[in-house]
Structure 1
Amino acid sequence: MIHLSAWKSAAFLAALSALTLLVYSVFRNKTYFDFLTWNLFLAWVPFVFSFIAYEIGRRAQSRMRAAIIVVLGAGWLLFYPNAPYIVTDLVHLTAMKGLYASGQGTFAFRYWYDLLVLVLFAWNGLLLCVYSLYQVHSLIRLAAGSLLAWGFVAAAALLGGYGVLLGRVYRLNSWDVLRDVSLIKRIALESLHAPVMLFSLLFGLMIGIVYVSFYFVVHQAVRAAKRA
């Protein structure tokens, strides 16, 4: 895999998030959604885990470092669904559509402002999602080979889709896994029916498609630069 500088990636993502927050502050109004800033913060948590693991993993290997990476990887997987979760915040535009209608099937300009700001937050979440997955993918490929690494990517995408479901539909937080295991078990059993599994599958498929697209573009761009 192509090495992407973790520090440059973090700087780019931080600048993008800062710009998004600036746009948000300009167009924010009393009907807007302050929770987006909290959701963006949570989307950063898995990237912080993967960033540290990636930086440690690229150095000389040892049992201690391997153990640290495993712990960081568990933290990453626990918080990973928070990154793509922001996409589901677009649902609030539908829930609040009555506030935007201006008559004759048209929408007030406030709707378009809110839509564009929501898309910016969702784009931040998706980029944090694929960047952090790329870092973990790189580590697993280094340790276990390409086939197992891609198998992990597929599993992470599906688990991410299920995690988004738990957050959006069942209103769980990542830390609930540590705080109330019995609640997690109960909801896991309740969620074993077709519509829920389809939601998880489709969202996992979306994560996978976005990641593969990101992977393809990055690798093609680097190869084209080398040929030039």
Structure 2
Amino acid sequence: MNLIATRSSIFQNRIIQLTTLAGVLLAYRIYISGTTDFLFMFWNLFLAAIPLFVSRQLMANVRLGQSKILRYSLFFLWVLFLPNSPYIITDLIHLDNSAATIWLDMLMLFIFALSGLLLGVLSMIDVFSYLRKHNHPFLANMMLLGVSLLSGFGIFLGRFLRFNSWDIIARPQLLMQCIFKSLLLWNAWLWIIGFGAFIWISFWVLKPYLRGSR
């Protein structure tokens, strides 16, 4: 158990180091290019960290035996914001092959994307632990798979239709219309299944290294 906890601590420290390195590379890129083209990556990384913050609040709620209504609300909020973590991977489309800083941009975006994915997986580990304690393991696995597919759909809505997590409150009617229309598109389903499977597989591949005491 101590070995697992130590390994988890090491990998979580690596995530902090990765995010710091990403920030340093972005600052250097701004300095040498004189442009702020990728400044939005700081915002995207902030959004990617929200699911982990929410999942930690959820686990604290469980430990303290607080309100179930609050617990379910936190779970819903987690599902809503989880797509923001792996979403950063899609920011690789901003790479410009003709840019003089192409190799720096590639390294910087890769580190941002990896950081976002790891933050998301850490939050999934928290929630999976909660689901397994309250459900049959198979059901917990299926629920996590369902959430992964929903995240794939969320990434589709964000990347191609430019919706945000908070649009469920800001633009609910338009969001629902676009959701129903998107579900009739075969390429949307390819994205949902493809990215959803990627998120789910990433969870199982990275979980042994990040699980710690969960």
Fold-level match, TM-score > 0.5? yes
Structure 1 regions of 5+ residues with no counterpart?
Answer: 101-107, 223-228
Instruction: Return the alpha-carbon distance in structure 2 between the equivalents of residues 85 and 212 of structure 1.
Output: 18
Query: Does the residue aligned with 1:174 lie in a helix, a strand or coil?
Result: coil
- The question of 1:199 aligning with 2:201 is answered no
CA drift of 1:218 comes to 5.1
Stretch deviating more after TM superposition (172-181 or 111-120): 172-181
Alignment correspondent of 1:37:
42
Instruction: Return the alpha-carbon distance in structure 2 between the equivalents of residues 20 and 4 of structure 1.
Output: 26
CA drift of 1:10 comes to 6.5
CA drift of 1:60 comes to 5.0
CA drift of 1:159 comes to 0.4
CA drift of 1:154 comes to 0.4
TM-score (norm 2): 0.86
Q: 1:215 aligns with which of 204, 207, 212?
A: 207
Alignment correspondent of 1:164:
155
Pairs within 5 Å for 1:104-143: 108=100, 110-143=101-134
Q: Which amino acid aligns with 2:204?
A: V
Deviations 1:70-108 (A, max 9, x none): 111111111110001000000111xx33x32xxxxxxx4
Matched residues, number: 205
Q: 1:46 aligns with which of 51, 56, 64?
A: 51
Alignment correspondent of 1:23:
25
Query: Does the residue aligned with 2:164 lie in a helix, a strand or coil?
Result: coil
Gap change, CA 1:31 and 1:17, over 3 Å in 2: closer
Q: 2:180 aligns with which of 184, 189, 195?
A: 189
Instruction: Return the alpha-carbon distance in structure 2 between the equivalents of residues 207 and 165 of structure 1.
Output: 13
Instruction: Return the alpha-carbon distance in structure 2 between the equivalents of residues 148 and 188 of structure 1.
Output: 26
The structure that has the greater radius of gyration is 1
Instruction: Return the alpha-carbon distance in structure 1 between the equivalents of residues 201 and 23 of structure 2.
Output: 27
Structure possessing the higher relative contact order (Cα contacts under 8 Å, 6 or more residues apart): 2
Query: Does the residue aligned with 1:173 lie in a helix, a strand or coil?
Result: coil
Structure 2 regions of 5+ residues with no counterpart?
Answer: none
Query: Does the residue aligned with 2:203 lie in a helix, a strand or coil?
Result: helix
Gap change, CA 1:130 and 1:4, over 3 Å in 2: farther
Alignment correspondent of 1:153:
144
Alignment correspondent of 1:103:
none
Q: Check whether the contact 2:26–2:39 (CA below 8 A) recurs between aligned residues.
A: no
TM-score (norm 1): 0.81
Q: Check whether the contact 1:86–1:121 (CA below 8 A) recurs between aligned residues.
A: yes
